[in-house]
Amino acid sequence: MAIKTISTQVFEGQKPGTSGLRKKVKEFQRSGYLENFVQAIFNTIAPCDGHTLVVGGDGRFFNREAIQVIIRMAAANGFSRLLVGQGGILSTPAASCIIRKHQARGGIILSASHNPGGPDGDFGIKFNGDNGGPAPESLTDSIYQQTLSIDHYLIEDAEDVNLDQLGAYSLAGTAIEIIDPVADYADLMASLFDFERMKALLTNGKFRMCFDAMHAVTGPYAKEIFERRLGAAEGTVINGVPLEDFGGGHPDPNQVHAHELVALLNGDNPMDFGAASDGDGDRNMVLGKGFYLNPCDSLAVMAANAQYIPGYAEGIAGIARSMPTSRAADRVAKKLGIHCYETPTGWKFFGNLLDAGKITLCGEESFGTGSDHVREKDGMWAVLFWLNLIAVRNQPLGEIVKNHWTRYGRDYFTRHDYEAVNSERAADMIERLRGQLPDLPGREFAGLCIESADDFSYTDPIDGSETCNQGVRIFFDNGGRVVFRLSGTGTEGATLRVYFDQYQNDPTLLGQDPQKALATLMDAADQVAGIIEYTGREKPDVIT
Ligand code: VG1
Ligand code: CO
């Protein structure tokens, strides 16, 4: 075996977005494309000598090939130890857990999350640091700079490693351990939640639940935790085998894509509790009997009830939410006398706050919730939190949330996505909005008057770093808010996201359909921004 130095040429556009580098599989299959990016990571975090690296992915098409390349490159770059999930599998939160538990230098996670997989689908790669969290912008910027000047990479000339066999191998002085992807993570969950109580609920012969793993990474985790450790009936986990193309589905846990699950929680004889996760296991959708739980409400209700959960029984230090997430959590923070931070979209912005102990819980409207137990959002964790809460409060999910609204009022929220729209037109729309910002206050649209408008920027309270242009926010005099931003995870054209939220505390108006409750705000948003005109679409592609 020998280290080979391979000459390479720069690929344009290897700039990480909201969550790592995401491109079409075809792009990643270009000779040297993956290698350049991986070498750029190693150059940025050098020296690698003597360090441990965690490697795994969501099991999508190209996962195994990519892992073999990364193993050989990591060995050539001097890592002393690699921890690789069996079968190439590691959910994003499990990777975060393993990095922390084994004091690794970091981890490489292969995933395009909820984006479709398969030969014509998407692939992605992200680097997480030694705290287990996504690389901050300063690091992703350095990695990108490296990709612009790279001219060679290092790779060990060696055979493929058997990813399916647990055990230890040695490759040119690097110890390669193929590890159980689930065990450390499941143990962490057992340390946070009251498994005994949850087991009693799941085996009482009355409570019925279903977990939809959407043929993505959470299948093995859900089977171990729900069916083995918590005693739920076999078959509780559906679509539980990770498939390279997610069974042709779209592993995005929302009501549109997890329709099989939604049907089980509605209609005749609905189940009591349902949940789904995404491609890499960091998102969650939680449903009660005939009840949809909005992720913004999920964060707020969790914060208000954290004392019921063993891992959080001593109280929470603070909360953070991404800017477009509704302000429901802010109300809970106020009542608890703790701070609620507002960060840009993307989990990487929570890392410093978590590391500094400023926050315990954090969340995003995009089906992401998590805590200081790892440094990623965590789908299974969120589902277990809810199950634990239901077991302790002995109330159905819908009732817990409705009680919360009665106490705090309800922040109606919805997000409209316009996918694969013309990139230039979408950019023009946002540019025009930015240009209008100073003139918007005082103007009226659809009968609502604008109070203030800005483009969100954030100064990290821990390291002082600044992040600008994170979304146009428009605040109306009725308390409503509309946010416009372009996605940083899409791979085709542009995806425009429009977020609406509005507070309501009239007890007779807490049970409306959000699409109706927010209808006037939607009219106003279209009038201000010209959504229909710029996108050429009459209505959004996805509503969450
Ligand atoms: C989206 C979500 C964002 C989330 C990100 C990564 O980003 O809006 O809240 O953090 O995906 O989640 P964007 O830039 O497309 O809006 V995941 O589960 O795809 O890693
Ligand atoms: Co994800």
User: Which residue's CA is minimally distant from atom 2 of ligand 1?
Assistant: 366
Q: What is the rounded CA–CA span in Å between residue 535 and residue 539?
A: 9
User: Which residue's CA is minimally distant from atom 13 of ligand 1?
Assistant: 487
Ligand 1: centre distance to CA 153 (Å): 30
**Ligand 1 atom with minimal separation from the 364 CA:** 9
Ligand 2: centre distance to CA 280 (Å): 5
Output the six-digit token pair for 482: 């509309």
Q: Long-range contacts for 333-340 (Cβ within 8 Å, ≥24 apart)?
A: 333/303, 335/304, 335/408, 336/303, 336/304
Last residue of some domain: 359, 380, 408? 408
**pLDDT (0 to 100) of residue 218:** 96
- Is the pLDDT score of 489 beyond 90? no
**pLDDT (0 to 100) of residue 271:** 96
Ligand lying closest to the C-alpha of residue 216: 2
Residues 6+ apart with CB under 8 A from 289: 265, 270, 271, 272, 273, 396, 397, 398
Q: Give the confidence band of 250 by pLDDT, cuts at 50, 70, 90.
A: confident
DSSP 3-state percent helix, strand, coil across the chain (nearest 5):
35, 25, 40
The rounded percent of the chain whose pLDDT value lies above 70 is 100
Mean pLDDT of 446-465: 95
Query: Domain count of the chain?
Result: 3
- Is the pLDDT score of 503 beyond 80? yes
Tell me, yes or no, whether 479 and 388 share the same domain: no
**Ligand 1 atom with minimal separation from the 280 CA:** 18
Tell me, yes or no, whether 130 and 17 share the same domain: yes
Ligand 2: centre distance to CA 405 (Å): 28
Ligand lying closest to the C-alpha of residue 214: 2
Mean pLDDT of 455-481: 95
Tell me, yes or no, whether 461 and 484 share the same domain: yes
Last residue of some domain: 162, 181, 200? 181
Mean pLDDT of 148-169: 95
User: Which residue's CA is minimally distant from atom 10 of ligand 1?
Assistant: 346
User: Which residue's CA is minimally distant from atom 4 of ligand 1?
Assistant: 346
Catalytically annotated residue among 91, 111, 113, 366 = 113
**Ligand 1 atom with minimal separation from the 278 CA:** 18
**pLDDT (0 to 100) of residue 481:** 97
Tell me, yes or no, whether 195 and 338 share the same domain: yes
Tell me, yes or no, whether 460 and 386 share the same domain: no
Tell me, yes or no, whether 380 and 396 share the same domain: yes
Last residue of some domain: 391, 408, 425? 408
Tell me, yes or no, whether 259 and 283 share the same domain: yes
Q: Tell me the CATH number at 272.
A: 3.40.120.10
Q: Give the confidence band of 81 by pLDDT, cuts at 50, 70, 90.
A: very high
**Ligand 1 atom with minimal separation from the 490 CA:** 15
The rounded percent of the chain whose pLDDT value lies above 90 is 92
Of 16-20, 207-211, 490-494, the one with minimum mean pLDDT is: 490-494
Q: Is 487 a catalytic residue?
A: no
Q: Please state at what angle helix 379-393 crosses helix 295-305, rounded to 10 degrees.
A: 50
**pLDDT (0 to 100) of residue 255:** 86
Q: Tell me the CATH number at 436.
A: 3.30.310.50
> Is the alpha carbon torsion for 253, 255, 260, 263 positive or negative?
positive
Ligand 1: centre distance to CA 381 (Å): 18
Mean pLDDT of 486-494: 83
Please tell me what DSSP assigns to residue 278.
-
Total residue count of the chain as it appears in this document? 544
Residue ranges making up the domain that contains 298: 185-408
Judge whether 82 and 174 are in contact, CB under 8 Å.
yes
110 bridge partner residues:
57, 125
**Ligand 1 atom with minimal separation from the 279 CA:** 18
Tell me, yes or no, whether 217 and 275 share the same domain: yes
Ligand lying closest to the C-alpha of residue 296: 1
Strand order across the 339-343 sheet: 339-343, 318-322, 361-364, 368-371
- Is the pLDDT score of 19 beyond 90? no
DSSP H helices in 77-182: 92-101, 137-147
Tell me, yes or no, whether 290 and 194 share the same domain: yes
CA distances from 36 to 66, 91, 449 (A): 12, 24, 51
Ligand 1: centre distance to CA 366 (Å): 7
- Is the pLDDT score of 1 beyond 80? no
Task: Dump pLDDT digits (tens) for 297-348.
Answer: 999 999 999 999 999 999 999 999 999 999 999 999 999 999 999 999 999 9
**pLDDT (0 to 100) of residue 462:** 95
- Is the pLDDT score of 37 beyond 90? yes
Q: Which helix (H) or strand (E) holds 109?
A: strand 106-110
Residues 6+ apart with CB under 8 A from 460: 349, 352, 466, 467
Tell me, yes or no, whether 119 and 108 share the same domain: yes
CA distances from 393 to 9, 95, 306, 308, 493 (A): 59, 32, 12, 8, 46
DSSP H helices in 33-182: 33-45, 63-76, 92-101, 137-147
Tell me, yes or no, whether 142 and 52 share the same domain: yes
Look at 295 and 254; give whichever has higher pLDDT. Answer: 295
Q: Give the confidence band of 256 by pLDDT, cuts at 50, 70, 90.
A: confident
Ligand lying closest to the C-alpha of residue 134: 1
- Is the pLDDT score of 261 beyond 90? yes
Task: Dump pLDDT digits (tens) for 192-224.
Answer: 999 999 999 999 999 999 999 999 999 999 999
Q: What is the rounded CA–CA span in Å between residue 436 and residue 133?
A: 37
**Ligand 1 atom with minimal separation from the 20 CA:** 20
**pLDDT (0 to 100) of residue 46:** 93
Ligand 1: centre distance to CA 392 (Å): 32
From 218, 364, 489, mutation site for ligand 1 pocket: most ligand atoms within 8 A of C-beta: 489
**pLDDT (0 to 100) of residue 427:** 93
CA distance from start to end of the chain: 52
From 283, 285, 362, 366, mutation site for ligand 1 pocket: most ligand atoms within 8 A of C-beta: 366
The ligand 1 site (C-beta within 6 Å) comprises 18-19, 113-114, 278, 282-283, 322, 345-347, 364, 366, 368, 487-489, 497
Tell me, yes or no, whether 146 and 191 share the same domain: no
User: Which residue's CA is minimally distant from atom 17 of ligand 1?
Assistant: 113
Ligand 2: centre distance to CA 507 (Å): 36
**Ligand 1 atom with minimal separation from the 377 CA:** 18
Mean pLDDT of 244-268: 91
Mean pLDDT of 413-420: 95
Residues 6+ apart with CB under 8 A from 514: 294, 412, 413, 414
Ligand 1: centre distance to CA 450 (Å): 28
Ligand 1: centre distance to CA 13 (Å): 19
Ligand lying closest to the C-alpha of residue 321: 1
